Amino acid sequence: MKATYSQLLLNFKQASGTSRGILKQKETWFIKLETPEKWGIGECGMLRGLSCDDRPDYEEKLQWVCDHIGLGFDALYAEINEFPSIQMGLETAFISLASDDPFCLFPSKFTNSKDTLPINGLIWMGDHAFMLSQLEQKLAAGFNCIKMKVGAIDFDQELALLKTIRQRFSKDEIVLRVDANGAFSAEEAPSKLDALAAFDIHSIEQPLMPGQWESMAALCKNTPLPIALDEELIGVFGSSQKQQLLDMINPQYIILKPSFVGGFRGSQEWIKLANERQIGWWVTSALESNIGLNAITQWTYTLNPKGPQGLGTGSLYTNNIHSPLVVEKGYIGYDNTKKWSTIQ
């Protein structure tokens, strides 16, 4: 078996804002496996400034994996524990190689174009007019679950935008999720969550910066609206540490980004631990290209998840890889009449 890796620089259609800054480009990498008869591909979707494997030796480790592909998946997966996005790409590539179609990793009604998954519409940070424009676009497109980034502009403006939504739509008509990306301090978070709760918010993602377990535990215990851990899961290795985090913080939800937590194998461990503790969860992409998004979406469908997932990021880029993934009226599907563009 031969293994190689390549890099792609994805360009955002428009600069996209989070509380960590403005995103204009996104690097990603692919692992390709080849035998005389078949090939498989997986995406290593490390995200600069956020992934725990954003390290100077990232490509060195990718090359090491390719050079030692003969060790097999299980041995390699264990060896690269501190590189969860490479674990994800490697796992996907092996599944792809073993499949009849390298892009049909988890055959189902979804891949047969017989079923779809509900997803949320994402509103990026910006000034009030920009965010309102995005909101109108998402509502016109038929989304009934909106996720809004908060923490970058004036908080009163963000509340005003939420008020605009709630004046037009009840919580039964439009589900509202907000994502702070750790923008609130422990001192200000309770009052800000109180203000948000007035608008029937489904949940808030990562209100505090990760690593403040005691503060986050206190917030989750007394919160007026459900809290979902996201970045908190990054860099938490091993079952015992994962159990310790969930037992101490006891969040209402966790959010699974396979590229951040060791692929599907790592995500399944989090799901098992969450289910044992009656902690809810959903799956989101992490700004991967359509290669990674396709794999994550197909896998997520097999879980029979509850509620909208965060899988609507495929249209963010000007140079994404063309795929059969389609988003219509708040659902993501797989249109078998559409073809994949050539993978180099």
**Which residues are the active-site residues?**
149, 257
Tally of CB atoms within 10 A around 168: 11
E-assigned strand segments in the chain: 2-18, 21-34, 39-44, 117-118, 121-123, 145-149, 175-179, 203-205, 227-229, 253-256, 280-283, 325-328, 331-334
Q: Degrees (nearest 5) of the Cα angle 208, 284, 139?
A: 95
Helix (H, G, I), strand (E, B) or coil at 5: strand
Strand ranges across the sheet with 280-283: 121-123, 145-149, 175-179, 203-205, 227-229, 253-256, 280-283
SS3 content of the chain, % helix, strand, coil (to 5): 35, 25, 40
Residue written as tokens 């997803």?
119
Euclidean distance between CA atoms 230 and 63, whole angstroms: 29
Residue 140: count of CB within 10 angstroms of its CB: 8
